[in-house]
């Protein structure tokens, strides 16, 4: 099993409720409000790690919730903060929302990105004490958070990508130039998931990725195709491995065209990547003849390196050529994207719709904020609610739209009569 794309569900913690406690003490009459604030909910944090190279763990666990903040208590005691949750993902994981917009690129080892912030704790009643309201019997509710569905997509971070038909010797090449030990065998689709290897040459090192073989239609999902093209998207250079002997009955020249077509129709930007040709299996019959034909056709456009990977012949030339090209290429960079935030900041804007004759509905961030505050069955609390509507200009706006005494006003779940 190799999972490199998965949907998961994440939720930050709810904020704890503020307390509406009133201080009581023997022999102290009306000690006043002493309800503490609710704790903040925990954050959802993604952490990139190079010690994982698949998203397989997410096959078993798909739901991640940070801890809720605790409610505030008496004597102004604060509710405890909810515990953060840290989700470890392999380096190169791109996080997207349900519409496919990029939220984060977990590009660098150790990178930490807070994707969801915990809900704010509600304020305790002592915050609402005023000269006219000595003992507010209401407090603010903690902010409730919602669950989001996000997609994790692994896009391997490597300098060099090996591409080519199945069985041409890509894994063999990786095994002789790096410390990687990929499976090698004489049949198609031996490699089922990308292998990474570190190549060292003099004082230079680079990472090479061997991906499963590509076939015609790969860019539309044929074979293992599409899934793995994702892993060469952010390489700096491609090595196109060919069976130059045509030992399986295909013409290496048409192999070359066909695979390039698949790669470029998957993502036209890949055309900008330099490509070096590794003409492999030169120990087999017909390779000399094919190599000559290949050189005639492509010799001016591509650097072509004949090799016999199985005995490591020609391999050093390839590595030297690749290392030299890499020196002048820009480093692998994180994706460029417009940052999108899952959680919208709730502002205190509002809008009023006239639903019917004399029926007005108030919507917007202000309403969302108000509705998490104060339970409105409480007289005190309702007074506070009205005050906010007045202070923020909602009452004036209603009046302007024609609301008069007795008009119905709807704010969130609450319906009340307008009293000027």
Ligand X SMILES: Nc1nc2c(ncn2[C@@H]2O[C@H](COP(=O)(O)OP(=O)(O)OP(=O)(O)O)[C@@H](O)[C@H]2O)c(=O)[nH]1
49 binds Mg ion (CB under 5 A): no
Nearest approach, Cβ of residue 309 and ligand X (Å):
4
* CA dihedral angle for residue 81, residue 55, residue 240, residue 326, rounded to 10 degrees: 20
What region, left, alpha or beta, does residue 258 occupy, with left being phi > 0 and alpha being psi -120 to 50 degrees? alpha
Tell me which residue of 352, 385, 347 sits closest to 366, measured CA to CA: 347
Of the candidate residues 167, 178, 193, 407, the single one contacting ligand X (CB under 6 A): 167
CA distance 116 to 111: 15
Of the candidate residues 5, 188, 250, 312, the single one contacting ligand X (CB under 6 A): 188
Bridge-partner residues for 152, per DSSP? 6, 95
Nearer to Mg ion, 171 or 280 (CB): 171
Nearest approach, Cβ of residue 202 and ligand X (Å):
25
Binding segment for ligand X among 139-147, 152-160, 187-195, 225-233 (CB under 6 A)?
Answer: 187-195
Mind giving me the DSSP string for 53-112?
---GGGGT--EEEPPPPPPP-STTPPPPPPPPEEEEEETTEEEE-TTS-EEEEE-STT-E
195 binds ligand X (CB under 6 A): no
Contacts of 38 (CB under 8 A, 6+ apart): 15, 16, 17, 18, 19, 69, 70, 71, 72, 79, 121, 122, 123, 124, 140, 141, 142
- Compose the 214-233 pattern: x for residues touching Mg ion by CB under 5 A, - for all others: --------------------
191 binds Mg ion (CB under 5 A): yes
Contacts of 188 (CB under 8 A, 6+ apart): 166, 167, 213
96 binds ligand X (CB under 6 A): no
197 binds ligand X (CB under 6 A): no
Nearest approach, Cβ of residue 171 and ligand X (Å):
3
121 binds ligand X (CB under 6 A): no
CA distance 188 to 254: 18
Binding segment for ligand X among 150-158, 179-187, 349-357, 400-408 (CB under 6 A)?
Answer: 179-187
283 binds ligand X (CB under 6 A): yes
User: Which of ligand X, Mg ion, none interacts with 281 (beta carbon under 5 to 8 A by kind)?
Assistant: ligand X
Q: How many residues does the chain have?
A: 420
Of the candidate residues 30, 51, 130, 186, the single one contacting ligand X (CB under 6 A): 186
User: Which of Mg ion, ligand X, none interacts with 308 (beta carbon under 5 to 8 A by kind)?
Assistant: ligand X
Nearer to Mg ion, 171 or 235 (CB): 171
CA distance 354 to 411: 12
Nearer to ligand X, 47 or 184 (CB): 184
Nearer to ligand X, 118 or 223 (CB): 223
Helix, strand, coil % (nearest 5) of the chain? Answer: 25, 25, 50
Nearest approach, Cβ of residue 303 and ligand X (Å):
19
Contacts of 235 (CB under 8 A, 6+ apart): 156, 158, 159, 160, 161, 209, 273, 332
280 binds ligand X (CB under 6 A): yes
171 binds Mg ion (CB under 5 A): yes
Edge-to-edge strand ranges of the sheet holding 44-49: 85-90, 44-49, 112-116
Nearer to ligand X, 86 or 216 (CB): 216
190 binds Mg ion (CB under 5 A): yes
Nearest approach, Cβ of residue 208 and Mg ion (Å):
13
Binding segment for Mg ion among 35-43, 130-138, 170-178, 391-399 (CB under 5 A)?
Answer: 170-178
Residue 165: DSSP 8-state = S
Task: Assess contact for 66 and 43: CB atoms under 8 A.
Answer: yes
- Compose the 284-313 pattern: x for residues touching ligand X by CB under 6 A, - for all others: x-----------------------xxx---
90 binds ligand X (CB under 6 A): no
122 binds ligand X (CB under 6 A): no
167 binds Mg ion (CB under 5 A): no
CA distances from residue 405 to 359, 361, 379, 416 in whole angstroms, order as listed: 12, 16, 20, 11
Task: Assess contact for 399 and 415: CB atoms under 8 A.
Answer: no
Binding segment for Mg ion among 3-11, 96-104, 184-192, 391-399 (CB under 5 A)?
Answer: 184-192
Binding site for Mg ion (CB under 5 A): 171, 190-191
Binding site for ligand X (CB under 6 A): 166-172, 184-186, 188-191, 212-213, 280-281, 283-284, 308-310
């Amino acid at each position: 099993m190799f999972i490199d794309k998965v949907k998961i569900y994440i939720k930050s913690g709810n904020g704890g409720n503020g307390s509406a406690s009133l201080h009581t003490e023997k022999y102290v009459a009306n000690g006043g409000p002493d309800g503490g604030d609710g704790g903040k909910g925990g954050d959802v944090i993604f952490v990139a790690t190079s010690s994982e190279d698949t998203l397989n763990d997410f096959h078993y666990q798909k739901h991640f919730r940070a801890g809720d903040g605790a409610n505030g208590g008496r004597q102004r005691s604060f509710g405890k903060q909810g515990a953060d949750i840290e989700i470890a993902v392999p380096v190169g994981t791109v996080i997207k929302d349900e519409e496919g917009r990029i939220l984060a690129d977990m590009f660098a080892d150790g990178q930490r990105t807070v994707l969801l912030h915990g809900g704010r704790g509600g304020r305790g009643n002592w915050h609402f004490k005023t000269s006219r309201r000595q003992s507010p019997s209401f407090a603010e509710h903690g902010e409730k958070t919602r669950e989001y569905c996000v997609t994790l997509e692994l896009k391997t971070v490597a300098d060099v990508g090996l591409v080519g038909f199945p069985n041409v010797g890509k894994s063999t090449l990786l095994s002789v130039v790096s410390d990687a030990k990929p499976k090698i065998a004489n049949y198609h689709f031996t490699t089922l998931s990308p292998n990474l290897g570190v190549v060292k040459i003099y004082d230079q090192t680079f990472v090479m990725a061997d991906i499963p073989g590509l076939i015609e239609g790969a860019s539309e999902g044929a074979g293992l195709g599409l899934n793995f093209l994702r892993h060469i998207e952010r390489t700096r250079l491609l090595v196109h491995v060919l069976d130059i002997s045509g030992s399986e009955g295909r013409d290496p020249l048409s192999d070359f065209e066909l695979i390039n077509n698949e790669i470029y129709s998957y993502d036209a930007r890949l055309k900008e990547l330099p490509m070096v040709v590794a003409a492999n299996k030169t120990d087999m019959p017909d390779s000399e003849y094919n190599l000559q034909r290949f050189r005639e056709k492509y010799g001016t456009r591509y650097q072509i390196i004949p090799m016999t990977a199985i005995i490591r012949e020609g391999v050093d030339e390839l590595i030297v050529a690749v290392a030299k090209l890499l020196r002048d290429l820009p480093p692998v960079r994180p994706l460029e994207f417009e940052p999108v935030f899952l959680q919208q900041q709730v502002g205190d804007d509002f809008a009023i719709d006239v639903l019917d004759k004399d029926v007005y509905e108030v919507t917007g961030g202000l309403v969302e904020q108000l509705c998490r505050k104060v339970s409105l069955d409480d007289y005190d609390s309702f007074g506070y609610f009205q005050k906010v509507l007045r202070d923020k200009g909602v009452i004036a706006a209603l009046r302007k739209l024609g609301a008069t005494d007795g008009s119905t006003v709807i704010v969130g779940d609450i319906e009340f009569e307008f009293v000027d």
